[in-house]
Structure 1
Amino acid sequence: MNARYNGYFYANQYLNEVNEQIEDSYQYNYDQILKIYPDIDSSTIQSNKAKLDDAFKKASQVIEWYGTSDWTDDNYLIIGKIRHLRAQFQFAIETLQYINQTSEDDPTRHASLIALMQTYMDAGDKEKAKEVSNYLETEELTDENMADYKVMLAYYYQREEDYETMAENLKEVAEVITKKDTKSRINFILGQIEQEKGQNAEAYKYYKASLAGTPPYDLTFHAKLNMQQVSSVNGAAEVEKVRKFYAQLLKDGKNKEYQGKIYYEMGEFEKKQTHYDLAIDNYLQAVAVEEPSPRQKSLSYLRIGQLYFDIYEKFELASNYYDSAVSIMPDDIDGYPSHVKRKEVLTDFVTQLKTIQVNDSLLSLAELPAISLDAFVDNYLNQQEKEAKEREREEARNATSTGAVISPSSGSGFSSNAPSSEWYFYNDAAVELGTIEFQRRWGNRKLEDNWRRSTKEASSTTESSTEENITDDATDQPEEAGLADEGRAAKKKELLATIPTTAEAKEKLHLEIQEAYFKLGSVYRFGLEKTAKAATTYKTLVQKYPNTEYKLDALFALYTLYLESDPSQAQTYKQQIIDAFPESLIAKTLINPNYLAEKEARNKALQKVYASAYSAYENGEYVKADQILRGALQSFEDVDFLPTVELLSAILKGKTESVFSYEEALKAFVAKYPEGRLTNYAKDLLIAVNPVKETIVRSEDFEYSEDFKQLHLLAIVYNSEVTKTAGLRAAIENFNKDTFSHLKLSVGQLAFDESKKLGIIFINSFEDKKTVEAYHRAFKKALADFTIEVDSNFNNFAISRDNFQMLFQSKELEAYLKFHNTFYQ
């Protein structure tokens, strides 16, 4: 008796009081499926420290003093639950496991296992929680423990977001749970799950069941609201009945803190009836109540944004409301990532649209004569000032009003005090929002004198007096008027400065418009999924700017957009791509769908050839490497690996020809490929060329090298004004092909002496002096058949690689010819 009534009873009572306080202080989110158990708030646990300490002490004393009592395991259970509340999960787990291992009382042991499931879940170990559940499935539980277990199992599946299995477990025990508040909440949860499944009749049954007894008022309130949502409404009479129901809720003083929720539900109801304007008006009322909750406010803004997006397709307005919604939206709201994504898409949409609108306006204004432009800006400023004064009058009249509609957070379209860098000449969003706010505040009134007065027969002296006072205040202050004039002049100057006056400034705006059109098309297509508007946008871009840098991508977008819906139209855009951009990857792929696969095969084949050439290069077999690459360059084209091959070919010229042809080859490579890793390497090689050129031996006698075992070339010097380079080179290449194809010779050219208009063509490479001499003899005989014009400057001779570099540096042709005649046959 002492163990039960002096220790356990009071410890259990303290523990229940703390659990009740956790329950009472927790704010359930009725916009989502309610949690079965409230989250444990550490501040609540801390504020009840003394009570938990006392409960822990009493339970511990029972264990210490009455260790043989049948109530020892029950007190261990209290200690385990207290440790769980304090987030001492490991200690709680050990305590609850101890009960399971030592207790001979099955109900207490089962209760400890149910508590152990929750502890494992709150500790983040769902696998262990499932293991405990599997064990409990094999045990025979009392009705009370079975009810607690099924609720705990439902809690497990709720955390797994498996609401179907969660509902199955709750339905099994909904009728046997004895605690009224818990029973009401479980029925409410079942109603929410059935409502999400679209089972409105079942949902209504569970919502009604949740009202049994005396549940907390917030649950009662939301259950009644949800019952309206799942009720079928047929005919105007039932619609009015529902509206009266909401009106009664608004009048009830107990519902003051729920007014935002009521207006929101009214909006949901009107939306369900497809009364979209009324829905928007109610959502606006929901955010205009005194101190609306951020969650409710964000949902109201979200619904307005969704209506403007899905129903009206007014994306600028939708962007304003999505921006407002996401800025205050808790991240646990269903679909939060998708709402953020759509907000980003709409922001991008508005950005591109504003760029087009503003730049088009500025370019149009730039075409006006100076006088007309000055007058336009004056009229614009007059309108701004007029609107500002009207706002001041409205603020004075409504200084005590608390029912003003709260505008979305985006300033666009809600104020004429827009930054000077943004001109809203054609702001549909502003017009639409202004209309909504006007109708909400004033009703549907005709445009006429004294439109503010509900009764026209008598004028309000108060209003007249107010207007007179405001007018007097505004006009009877010359110093302030002077300051206003200065501010207007500065504003005018600032606005005029935004208008482009130079060709460069106008071109910049045009380029921004082109980019914005292309991005807008992408937003329409991929972000908003409006393919027709995307196609129109791409067409507008190509029509307005036929030479835009985005033309290829825009045409391809149009081709893919029409591929399924209008194949003939798609074929038209395909042909435009092929005609205008024949060398583009897109065109080549359109012509040959297997193009990329075939190109990859060519890449692999070229890489094998390159590997063979590089191996020869590393072994010092430069002529062999050069011949391999020369054949590859003639055989392969349109291959991604080609630049690598071309760079090695250029490097080989330094080994087989001369430093000068090597330098020219590197320059040609950099010109052909202005950017990239290989280009940077080629530039480094070019920097290293100059020191090498300076080391070439020069003397007054120009003593040429007599090392005739090195590589040789055959050189032809000619007057480029007499002998045409192309004709001479073509004749040489044809001669090589017909007579010496086995040598795989290459032909190069350089400017030899620009002051004398002399050029030099060289054939390479020959292994030694004997081989080049044989070639030279055949070449001189063939010259007679060349259909080229020559003069006294035309000379041809064999020359070693080193001597070629010396000759090219000195330009002393006569000296080398003497050397040649001495040593070469």
Structure 2
Amino acid sequence: MKIPIKAILLIVFSTVLATSCSRKKDNFVSRNYHAVTAEFNALYNGYLALEEGRNTLNESYADNYWEVLPIERMQIQEDVVLPRQSKNENFNRAEEKAVKAIQKHSINIEGKEKNPQIDEAYLLLGKARYFDQRFVPALAAFNNILNKYPTSDKINQVKIWREKANIRLENNQVAIKKLKRLLADEELDDQDLADATSILAQAYLNTKSVDSAITQLNIAANATKNNDERGRYRFIQGQLYNQLGYKDSANIAFDKVIELNRKTPRIYMISAHIEKVKNFDYENGNKQALLEHLTALEENRENRPFLDKIYHQIAEYHLKTESDSLAVNFYNKSLRTNSQDKLLRAKNYQTLGDMNFDTSKYEIAGHYYDSTMTNLVLNSKPYRIIKRKRDNLEDVIYYENIAHVNDSVLQLVNFMETERLEYFESFVEALKVKAEEDEKRAEAAERNTGLATVNNTIGGQASNRGIPNQASLFYFYNPTAVAYGKNEFIKIWGDRTLEDNWRWSNKTASNSGNNASDVNIVDLASDEERFDPQYYISKIPSDEKVIDSISKDRNFAYYQLGLIYKEKFKEYNLAKSKFQNLLNSHPEERLIVPSKYNLYKIYELLGENDEASIAKNEIITKYPESRYAAILNNPDLANLKDEQSPERVYEKLFALHENQEYATVISECETYINAFDGDPIVPKFELLKATAIGRLFGYDAYKKAINYVAVTFANTPEGQQAEKMETEVLPKMASTDFVEETDDASTNFKVVYKFENTEIDAIQAFQKTLDTVLENIIYYDLKTSVDVYNPNTKLVVIHGLKSGQVAKTFNQLLTKEDNRKITEPYFAISSANYQIVQIHKNLDTYLNIYNN
């Protein structure tokens, strides 16, 4: 059979082509075949993948315009990536294509690369690794080009990319030195010049050389061919000028961003407008023109995606021009845009919170601060500042509620019978109106229920939601009825958490002014009682002891509010009014002098010198024996911790506690708690006393004492700490079961000698002798301590033994001479069981179980 001549020629041509394209031959066909194949196959697809990955990075990256922007849009992730893993599949594919081009198309003959596309492949490899945030491997790829391909036409780009990798690796000084050398030695193309100077600017920013960074950014903005980059560089220039305080220069830079208009991303233009508004001089500038400019930005349809920022800036304008109601309106408008800028939302909430705080709407302010914290990074400095303010506000809300409620009750107590009747008749009328409105809403809900039933039934059959026809009448399947029920519940009880005993009177509503006491009087009354004024009149306290208790609580609330406003919020006028109200309310003796002294300090701070002099003279003349009079007579004492100040007394008692003198601490705490009654330091004494009680008398006594602190001082840091101890720590300490004592490597043992508490001299002498004896034991590092067990017993303890058997036969470690010195009986115990013995004071039980 004849073979066609064309087939023979094709086979011969293919064979010649294949043999001539070998990577081991340096000829024209081989070089160009591999160059073309590498460029239009592997490298083309690799660069497509790289570009796709960069677009993904840009889309996922969110700039923080509250800070100076980075030169390059790339979010550095802290996630650990294992070898051969990638954070972005596109960059992984680009790297694979670069490696493929190198492996299949490199023509390395006698140490020289003959394929002109291989340097491009290494550059792609370095870029893929760089954007995948593997900077060390990227640096290796760039260095490989510089070492093997020094004559490459890409050499300047490679040097720039190498320094970008160095900057990411925080080698800023190295990058600055090499980039400056590159700029001095080479005549760079415009885009290469822009890339080099922009990355040099980033290095200067990292080293806090702001002036140098501005200069380099100016060069980059003029040289770049990319308007996106130009807009970013100019905007960063403006931010840096603002950072240096050069507002005029900043505005010139922002104007250049605005001039680019649609040539650059609109976010840069809008942000430039906003930054210029922030730089506005409200004292000398044209405010009307500024408002018209902001209004024009708001009404421009193209700016709709940025209304959150525009509304916020309009609100700031109205706040500075003292149009508070308009400011609140625009802050709320900004929030309603559902902005993705968390810092913007946080600033909106914080400002609204501050405005409500300034008008004494503390509960509303607290809710705004809560929302502020949800938009801040947990445990960041701004978060901690707001949290501290919110925690302080909790005390304000608590004491303001006490003051308000008790003032109202005392006002009713002082009413005449006719005044009471008139007041509650008006109150009952309001209840009737409310009841009628509730009845109308209930009827409307019932009608809606019937409508919902019809709508949920099609052709006499249940809807296709899988709910039977009868079920469509079920309360929870009717959204209208459910919504009505929720509103009614919140209106009566407030927004309560799902927990046991939710109706208890001490569980106040978090979102409502109502509390359980309101419910007990109004909502739990019968229908006849609810609309009977005499029912409410009968609830007004008449017992003098009860009235006196209400008055004392109100006065103490005034005192605490005065201290909080003065010390924590620096709201001196508010503090002054609270102390004055307290002194006008016939307070207890213990609150009078501290209140007058605090008023004296407030008068000084407010510059009201005449009132300060009157308050000072009154304290000195009427209360000459008080420590406040002593401070006023000798001002130097105010700057010293005198021996009788609460702080100094507490320090002394704490030192006694550290020295295990628990009985003295308990006794002295009781004395000073009475002496400093009303002082903010009292909860600290109570907590110290509770701790000493626990150390001396054990778990049960400690539990009772810590509960007292948690309940009595619930709104103080000490009370909150006690509550945390009660809920989290005490349950872990509750068990009295001893653990099994084994010679495990992790188990420590102690040798214990028991003494009566009265044998103080004997205990000290014994410990001294024991320390001397232990120095002769060279195989163990042993130490001693004297621990209080209870009011009648002290324990001398040897620490550092790892074996229960060695602890039980401790006397065998001693020499005969030392055994004659140490004749006291002892017992061995594991560290875990020793802790249980000290917590529960059940040493006798332990000794009965483990008869040493």
Q: Secondary structure at the match of 2:63?
A: coil
Residues 516-548 of structure 1: CA deviation (Å, up to 9, x unaligned): 323322333344333343334333334434435
Aligned to 1:286: 334
C-alpha separation in 2, matches of 1:418 and 1:539:
33
Q: Paired residue for 2:406, among 359, 374, 387?
A: 359
Letter in 2 for 1:326: T
Aligned to 1:245: 296
Aligned to 1:549: 590
1:214 aligns with 2:249: no
Query: How does 1:805-820 map onto structure 2 within 5 Å?
Result: none
Aligned to 1:513: 554
Letter in 1 for 2:73: P
In structure 1, the gaps of 5 or more residues are: 400-410, 431-481, 603-637, 646-664, 691-825
Letter in 2 for 1:129: N
Q: Paired residue for 2:99, among 46, 53, 60?
A: 60
C-alpha separation in 2, matches of 1:55 and 1:544:
80
Judged with a 3 Å threshold, the aligned counterparts in structure 2 of structure 1 residues 417 and 258 are, in CA distance, closer, same or farther, namely: farther
Percentage of identical aligned residues: 18
Q: Paired residue for 1:191, among 238, 245, 251?
A: 238
Aligned to 1:618: none
Q: Is the 8 A contact 2:91 2:132 kept in 1?
A: no
Aligned to 1:83: 129
Comparing 509-518 and 110-119, the one that deviates more: 110-119
Q: Paired residue for 1:323, among 349, 363, 369?
A: 369
1:276 aligns with 2:324: yes
Aligned to 1:403: none
Q: TM-score, normalised by structure 2?
A: 0.52
Comparing 360-369 and 561-570, the one that deviates more: 561-570
1:531 aligns with 2:582: no
Q: Secondary structure at the match of 2:222?
A: coil
Judged with a 3 Å threshold, the aligned counterparts in structure 2 of structure 1 residues 264 and 679 are, in CA distance, closer, same or farther, namely: closer
C-alpha separation in 2, matches of 1:360 and 1:354:
10
Residues 757-784 of structure 1: CA deviation (Å, up to 9, x unaligned): xxxxxxxxxxxxxxxxxxxxxxxxxxxx
Judged with a 3 Å threshold, the aligned counterparts in structure 2 of structure 1 residues 78 and 600 are, in CA distance, closer, same or farther, namely: same
In structure 2, the gaps of 5 or more residues are: 1-31, 449-486, 496-502, 515-522, 657-663, 674-684, 698-754, 760-852
C-alpha separation in 2, matches of 1:586 and 1:181:
68
The Cα shift of 1:42 comes to 7.0
C-alpha separation in 1, matches of 2:395 and 2:441:
34
C-alpha separation in 1, matches of 2:666 and 2:133:
72
Residues 83-120 of structure 1: CA deviation (Å, up to 9, x unaligned): 33333344345445555666635986665565455546
Q: Is the 8 A contact 1:301 1:321 kept in 2?
A: no
C-alpha separation in 2, matches of 1:109 and 1:495:
91
C-alpha separation in 2, matches of 1:191 and 1:597:
47
Query: How does 1:214-613 map onto structure 2 within 5 Å?
Result: 214-224=263-273, 238=289, 241-242=292-293, 245-246=296-297, 248-249=299-300, 252=301, 254-289=302-337, 295-307=343-355, 313-314=359-360, 316=362, 319=365, 322-323=368-369, 325-331=371-377, 337-368=384-415, 376=423, 379-380=426-427, 382-383=429-430, 386=433, 486=527, 489=530, 502-503=543-544, 505-563=546-604, 565=607, 569-578=611-620, 586-592=628-634
C-alpha separation in 1, matches of 2:616 and 2:72:
61
1:37 aligns with 2:80: no
Judged with a 3 Å threshold, the aligned counterparts in structure 2 of structure 1 residues 24 and 290 are, in CA distance, closer, same or farther, namely: closer
Q: Is the 8 A contact 1:229 1:269 kept in 2?
A: no
1:19 aligns with 2:50: no
Judged with a 3 Å threshold, the aligned counterparts in structure 2 of structure 1 residues 77 and 673 are, in CA distance, closer, same or farther, namely: same
Q: Paired residue for 1:147, among 184, 194, 205?
A: 194
Aligned to 2:39: 5
Query: How does 1:112-191 map onto structure 2 within 5 Å?
Result: 114-115=160-161, 118-119=164-165, 126=170, 128-139=171-182, 140=184, 142=188, 144-156=191-203, 166-191=213-238
Judged with a 3 Å threshold, the aligned counterparts in structure 2 of structure 1 residues 588 and 155 are, in CA distance, closer, same or farther, namely: same
The Cα shift of 1:235 comes to 6.1
Judged with a 3 Å threshold, the aligned counterparts in structure 2 of structure 1 residues 534 and 272 are, in CA distance, closer, same or farther, namely: closer
Q: Is the 8 A contact 2:428 2:531 kept in 1?
A: no
C-alpha separation in 1, matches of 2:202 and 2:538:
65
Query: How does 1:613-628 map onto structure 2 within 5 Å?
Result: none
The Cα shift of 1:179 comes to 1.8
Q: TM-score, normalised by structure 1?
A: 0.53
C-alpha separation in 2, matches of 1:541 and 1:301:
33
Residues 38-60 of structure 1: CA deviation (Å, up to 9, x unaligned): 34387999999553233212222
Q: Is the 8 A contact 1:167 1:193 kept in 2?
A: yes
Aligned to 1:805: none
RMSD of equivalent CA atoms: 5.9
Letter in 2 for 1:331: V
Q: Higher relative contact order at CA 8 Å, sep ≥6: structure 1 or structure 2?
A: 1
C-alpha separation in 1, matches of 2:564 and 2:303:
43
Aligned to 1:790: none
The Cα shift of 1:356 comes to 1.5
Q: Is the 8 A contact 2:238 2:251 kept in 1?
A: yes
C-alpha separation in 2, matches of 1:639 and 1:43:
46
Aligned to 1:441: none
C-alpha separation in 2, matches of 1:668 and 1:227:
66
Radius of gyration: which is bigger? 1
Judged with a 3 Å threshold, the aligned counterparts in structure 2 of structure 1 residues 339 and 90 are, in CA distance, closer, same or farther, namely: same
The Cα shift of 1:568 comes to 6.0
Letter in 2 for 1:248: E
Judged with a 3 Å threshold, the aligned counterparts in structure 2 of structure 1 residues 137 and 501 are, in CA distance, closer, same or farther, namely: farther
Q: Is the 8 A contact 1:384 1:416 kept in 2?
A: no
Q: How many residues align?
A: 561
Q: Secondary structure at the match of 1:549?
A: helix
C-alpha separation in 1, matches of 2:548 and 2:625:
28
Judged with a 3 Å threshold, the aligned counterparts in structure 2 of structure 1 residues 517 and 215 are, in CA distance, closer, same or farther, namely: same
Aligned to 1:104: 150
Letter in 2 for 1:181: D
The Cα shift of 1:175 comes to 1.2
The Cα shift of 1:358 comes to 1.9
C-alpha separation in 1, matches of 2:214 and 2:528:
67
C-alpha separation in 2, matches of 1:598 and 1:293:
49
Letter in 1 for 2:599: L
Judged with a 3 Å threshold, the aligned counterparts in structure 2 of structure 1 residues 355 and 248 are, in CA distance, closer, same or farther, namely: same
Letter in 2 for 1:175: N
The Cα shift of 1:365 comes to 2.8
Q: Is the 8 A contact 1:318 1:346 kept in 2?
A: no
Q: Is the 8 A contact 1:306 1:318 kept in 2?
A: no
Q: Secondary structure at the match of 1:28?
A: coil
Aligned to 1:624: none
Q: Is the 8 A contact 2:346 2:371 kept in 1?
A: yes
Aligned to 2:722: none
